[in-house]
Amino acid sequence: MPPRILIIGQGLAGTALAWRLWQRGVPFLIVDRDEPLTSSKVAAGLITPITGMRLTVSWRYEMFYREALRFYRDCGKRMKQRFFFPRGYVRLLKNEPEIAKWHKRRRDPDMQPFLHRQTPELNAEVIHQPENGFQQRHAAWLDTTAYLEASRRFFESLDSYTTADVKPEDVRDDANGIEWNSQRFSYVIWAQGWSAEKHPLFHWVPFQSALGTILTVEADLQGEKRILNRGCWLLPRHDGTLRAGSTYEWKFDDPNTPSANQVQTLEATLRSLLKVPAEITATQTAVRPIIKNRQALMGTHPTHPRVAFLNGLGSKGSLRSPWLARHLIEHLLDGAAIDTEMDLQHNSI
């Protein structure tokens, strides 16, 4: 049968898969529950090269960033809407041990493409302790909400999107292909985020997902447009709003309710960054899909070759989804090999 692909989930992973299929002219249907709060919808969309407490370059950053830049610009041109915003990123060092660590790390060759030559100049009336920082190049942010909404409208115009809560038992897999809702497909790709840990075919995937909370903030940064980070990040968006985050809760009962102490700690960290008054106007919480010891996993099920999987993008979905989606589609349609570090079958039990 000619290829037609069913995609379950319209988050960052599922949306990138749909765009990759559209670019190749391959029919698809993307199905989503259309929940108001999901990891992709809540995501800040930050794309930054030097990250974490260890001050290291994000895994395969140059490759992922180059593809993401081209992909989001192409999508924006198609939909006549801008979603991707290259932006300066200032990392402020928290304490003496971090300063000492940075003085060693900054000489590493892998750092050099991402370091701005100029020392960041910050307004001391806005930022506490604005010294001891560095500015990164090739950082950006994706307006995930606008990107997902515009993509959905585009897929709807193609009759390639529908809203439904698809259960694993609703999708039949037989020798002739995939069947759902009386429709036939050549493959199904499950791209549902952390809820995939309950899927009977993927119960063995070692999910270690984390609850995360992001704040919406009102504050007068006096014209500062760069992304700032010391203990938490602060993102000035193009519409004048600010977002700050984020928390990581590895144990949680309610996927939409953060613990009070996590939010209080985040608020305190934000106020230790800003001298100017900051009013918290909203909080948003969702679960990041994280797979233990893996940057992401994709591929087909070991015993169900028409059932595919793309998941575990964590906080890097905006950066990595364009590259990952292209390679999974090339695997399904062209037989291209999947990198063993991200191959679902290679990591199966």
pLDDT in tens, 192-244: 999 999 999 999 999 999 999 999 999 999 999 999 999 999 999 988 889 99
Q: Where are the alpha helices (DSSP H) in the chain?
A: 12-24, 39-42, 61-79, 96-105, 144-157, 260-273, 317-334
Longest alpha-carbon distance in the chain: 68
Task: Give 162-204 as a 3 state SS string.
Answer: EECCCCHHHCEEECCEEEECCEEECEEEECCHHHHHHCCCCCC
Residues 6+ apart with CB under 8 A from 77: none
**Could you tell me the domains of the chain?**
5-42+145-206+292-334 (3.50.50.60), 88-139+210-288 (3.30.9.10)
Provide, rounded to the nearest whole percent, the portion of the chain with pLDDT above 70: 99
Report residue 2 as tokens. 């000619």
pLDDT at 349 over 60: no
* Order of all β-strands in the sheet with 28-32: 161-163, 28-32, 5-8, 187-190, 307-311, 297-300
pLDDT in tens, 304-334: 999 999 999 999 999 999 999 999 999 999 9
In the chain the first and final C-alpha atoms are separated, in Å, by 31
| Confidence (pLDDT) at 220 | 95
Is the peptide bond prior to 182 cis by the omega test (within 30 degrees of 0)? no
Residues 6+ apart with CB under 8 A from 260: none
The alpha carbons of the chain give a radius of gyration, in whole angstroms, of 21
CA 286/CA 194 separation, integer angstroms: 10
Number of C-beta neighbours around residue 272 at 10 A? 14
pTM of the model: 0.96
| Confidence (pLDDT) at 22 | 98
149-to-40, 254, 300 alpha-carbon distances in Å: 11, 26, 28
pLDDT in tens, 99-156: 999 999 999 999 999 999 888 999 999 999 998 899 999 999 999 999 999 999 999 9
